[in-house]
Structure 1
Amino acid sequence: MLNRRTLALSALSATFSAGLLAGCAKETAPAVDYVLLDGSQRSSSQWAGKVMLVNFWATSCATCVKEMPQIAATHLKFNARGFDTLAVAMSYDPPAFVARFAETRKLPFGVAIDNTGAIAQAFGPVQATPTTLLINKRGEIVKRYVGEPDFGALHALVEQLLKEA
């Protein structure tokens, strides 16, 4: 049975640990180069000063297909305020399927195909789809979602990040 002193020490320890973790440096997003479906070459260095959502997905992933309209809506909601989105199709996804999906769904953001798996490797490695990363204006990974995010909470976090300098 725990006594009051043990409980107080546990609470103090948890509070101290949480304070230490809050002050820890965030993971910096890796430097990656990629090609969008339209053939344009891009680099993560172009993300500086933006809040970025990077979504790793596949056309064969039911959850990815289900969440894509919400990712598009998130992009449209925040894009004019310094928010951007990149959808990265996994290396095993047939390029023709990815292109057809992006075209028929009229995705309003950049879509890249990670042919070699190098982008997914650089970010984790990313092994499960969907995996979504939220990156702040300083290029730090603020949140990593495996599976479909809670879009209400995601939107609140995007709002907060857009207000940061």
Structure 2
Amino acid sequence: MTSSALRRLALLATVLTIALPMASFAAPPTTAAPAGQAAPVLHWTDLDGAPASLAQWRGRPVLLNYWASWCGPCLKELPDLQDFSQAQTSRPNGVHVVGVALDDVESAKALRDQLRLTYPQLVEGDGPPGTAAAFGNRIGTLPFSVLIDAHGTVLQVHNGPLHPADLARWAAAAGGAP
């Protein structure tokens, strides 16, 4: 091999070493979006170690948000979700926000406390993709959100952060007020 070919090979190896780990956190479209299907039966623990399941929120729309303390876009999105959750709490058909931290319990608790998150926080310590794969997020994109109606049917999935305008549309789609 020539020295030029070796340099190109070394450059390619460097680019792949940097790009491949980052690719799993990009926000490509979900290939298996299950809109219109029943949400799967899922179980977690909350940050105090108590069992929790998706079914416990049936009867009210749910926005399930997967996040991690090490995810920059998640950190930007969480305050908007807190504001949205607060606004929805007083509405009879409001969307119930539920966070799923793909993190260790201590990191999730620390961030919950730092950001003063009051909506339920669950933990799934195995990391991405975890149960988000059941909603089509097979590569573990974070943040990742799922909107489920009051009857347990998946309405929408979203890779990447949700913004306040997105949250208002989701509330309307779920039959609640924005």
Scaled by the length of structure 1, what TM-score is found? 0.75
Who is 2:14 aligned against?
A: none
CA RMSD of aligned residues (A): 2.2
Give the number of the structure whose residues are more often strand, by fraction.
1
Q: Kindly provide the amino acid, as one letter, of the partner of residue 148 in structure 1.
A: P
d(CA) in 2 for partners of 1:162 and 1:126? 30
Verify the 8 A CA contact 1:33 1:44 in the aligned structure 2: yes
Who is 1:73 aligned against?
A: 83
Residues 106-133 of structure 1, C-alpha deviations (whole Å, 9 max, x = no match): 1111111112454233333361100011
Residue 143 and residue 80 in structure 1: after superposition, are their counterparts in 2 closer, same or farther (change >3 A)? same
Deviation at 1:156, TM superposition (A): 2.9
Aligned pairs for 1:24-35 (under 5 A) are 26-35=36-45
Verify the 8 A CA contact 2:95 2:176 in the aligned structure 1: no
d(CA) in 2 for partners of 1:160 and 1:128? 23
Verify the 8 A CA contact 1:88 1:111 in the aligned structure 2: yes
Q: Kindly provide the amino acid, as one letter, of the partner of residue 87 in structure 1.
A: G
d(CA) in 1 for partners of 2:176 and 2:71? 33
d(CA) in 2 for partners of 1:153 and 1:110? 21
Who is 2:7 aligned against?
A: none
Who is 1:89 aligned against?
A: 101
Which ranges in structure 1 are unaligned for 5 or more consecutive residues? 1-24
d(CA) in 2 for partners of 1:59 and 1:85? 18
Who is 1:121 aligned against?
A: 133
Residue 150 and residue 100 in structure 1: after superposition, are their counterparts in 2 closer, same or farther (change >3 A)? closer
Verify the 8 A CA contact 1:32 1:44 in the aligned structure 2: yes
Which ranges in structure 2 are unaligned for 5 or more consecutive residues? 1-34
Who is 1:54 aligned against?
A: 64
Aligned pairs for 1:1-165 (under 5 A) are 26-81=36-91, 82-90=94-102, 93-116=103-126, 118-124=130-136, 125=138, 127-163=140-176
d(CA) in 2 for partners of 1:129 and 1:160? 22
Q: Extract structure 1 runs of 4+ deviating beyond 3 A.
A: none
Residue 79 and residue 162 in structure 1: after superposition, are their counterparts in 2 closer, same or farther (change >3 A)? farther
Aligned length: 139
Scaled by the length of structure 2, what TM-score is found? 0.70
